[in-house]
Amino acid sequence: MQIKTKNLLALSAGTLEYFDLMIYVHMAAVLNEIFFMKSINNYAWYTAFAFCSTFLLKPFGGVFFGYLGDRYGRKSVLISTTTLMAICCMVLSITPSYEEIGFTAAIIVTICRLLQGLSSIGESTSSEIYMAEQTQKPERYYYTGIVAYAGVVGTVAALVVAKIILALGINWRFVFFAGAVIGFIGFYIRVQLHESFDFQQTKKKIQSLGKNAAYAKSILEQKTSYYNIFAYFCVFCGWPICFYFSYVHCGNILKEKFDFTKEAIIHQNLLLGICNLCGLYFWIHLTKFIHPIKILLAKTVVFVPLMFFIPTIIDTATSNYDIFFLQVMFIVFGHSTIPAKGVFLMYFPTLSRFTWAAFLNGLSHVLLYIITSFGLVYLVKEYSNKGILIIFIPITIIFISGLLFFRKKEIEQGYYNQ
């Protein structure tokens, strides 16, 4: 348990790099005016573009870092992604404004955001796989959940810092400099880690086979079921729509309907983040007693009926508290893969686990964030708030179908009712 706790602390400290990734998202209202042209007529479209740029390279990052992770080990990816994230933060902290160097500023910032998105998929996936491979059922669910939880802590920390920066008028460049320092601290911590147990054992097994080259090759070339691949993609399609709707789309509603300032939006998002932390830890803690897929299915029982009331709640909202209620329900009961990531990951062979998990996670994120961000702008404009359901209903069906597939697999293996 001592070694496990040490690994957990190291991974969680590194996963706080999500602070580096999300600080720009939560300060976008301020930073977009610094690095991009101010004469943008449609704020919602521009917000969607700025948000999506973070996720465009995630699938490529999944393939690249997945290959490295499956070939050279999880630790190597943890270290390299930490370094890349820190370097991007350092560059952002010294990038001149649009007024100083023109469109070059926008190019530099966009490249850094793309590289941060690419890095984040390798960092988060390697952390979760590392912990999943270090533990056994059922404690695997809890520990893998805590590693993912640390990323949410980083997101909320970014909101806290954004609020302080805006309230006190502190130079925003210090935020990115601090983010770079966090990244380099994470690098130092992760260098101390050993390689994950499953990866080491699989590599040793292949090396020990020696003369039996055919058997060794069969281990290296283990096939992954296409059903597992599709189901994994499905379950990861749910969270992007809930996250974007709650934090970004509802922020646009608060701005347009209730004349919220950027400071007020960040404040409300901070309260939402705190609710997310509380709810998420509750679900993770429940895995000590209840199978994670049972928890996710129970959440959908609450979420699905509420989903159909989205247009009515938004149309009849008389204060920001009505919108806040909607935000909290979507974040706490929405389609998250936490705390079941420790279940999903183990349905891939050890030496292709990283590649498939990272690629499918990245692919689902880039597709769904693009569909959700640009889709909501268009659909709400064409069909009012009822257009939101055109995205939410099919994605909810896809998410639930993925859950039911893994539920069936867990039942077949005798894990579901343990």
Q: What is the CATH number of the domain that holds 187?
A: 1.20.1250.20
Q: Is 40 helix (H, G, I), strand (E, B) or coil?
A: coil
Residue 127's domain spans which residues? Answer: 2-194+222-412
Closest CA to 53 of 93, 113, 109, 116: 113
Measured CA to CA, the distance from residue 251 to residue 27 in angstroms comes to: 12
> What letter represents residue 177's amino acid?
F
Alpha-carbon torsion (388, 390, 393, 399), positive or negative: negative
Q: Is residue 276 part of a domain?
A: yes
pLDDT score recorded for residue 219: 47
Q: Does a structural domain hold residue 417?
A: no
Q: Classify residue 97: in a domain, yes or no.
A: yes
Q: Report if residue 211 sits inside a domain.
A: no
Give the helix ranges, DSSP H, for 27-102.
28-35, 43-52, 58-72, 74-94, 98-101
Question: Rounded to 5 degrees, what are φ and ψ at 47?
Answer: -60, -40
C-alpha 244/C-alpha 248 separation (Å) is 5
Which residues does 83 contact at the CB level (< 8 Å), separation at least 6? 183, 184, 187
The whole-number pLDDT of residue 2 equals 46
pLDDT tens, per residue, the chain with 418 residues: 444 555 555 555 555 667 777 777 767 667 777 777 665 555 556 556 666 666 777 888 888 988 888 888 888 888 888 888 888 888 988 888 888 888 888 888 888 888 888 888 888 888 888 888 888 888 899 988 988 888 888 888 887 887 787 777 778 788 888 878 877 877 777 777 777 777 777 777 776 665 555 544 454 556 788 999 999 999 999 999 999 899 889 988 998 899 988 778 888 988 999 999 999 999 999 999 999 999 999 999 999 999 999 999 999 999 999 999 999 999 999 999 999 999 999 999 888 898 999 999 989 988 998 888 888 888 998 999 999 999 999 999 999 999 999 999 999 998 888 6
Flag whether 43 is in a domain.
Answer: yes
Model-level pTM? 0.85
Q: How far apart are CA 418 and CA 400, in angstroms?
A: 22
Total domains in the chain come to 1
How far apart, in whole angstroms, are the C-alpha atoms of residue 333 and residue 176? Answer: 32
**pLDDT at residue 29, as a whole number:** 64
Model pLDDT, residue 343: 94
The pLDDT of residue 73: 85
Residue 245: its pLDDT value, please?
93
Within a domain: 342: yes
Angle between helices 350-383 and 103-134 (to 10 degrees): 130
- For residue 285, being part of any structural domain is answered with yes
pLDDT of residue 209: 61
Per-residue pLDDT, 60: 87
**Assigned domain for 208 exists:** no
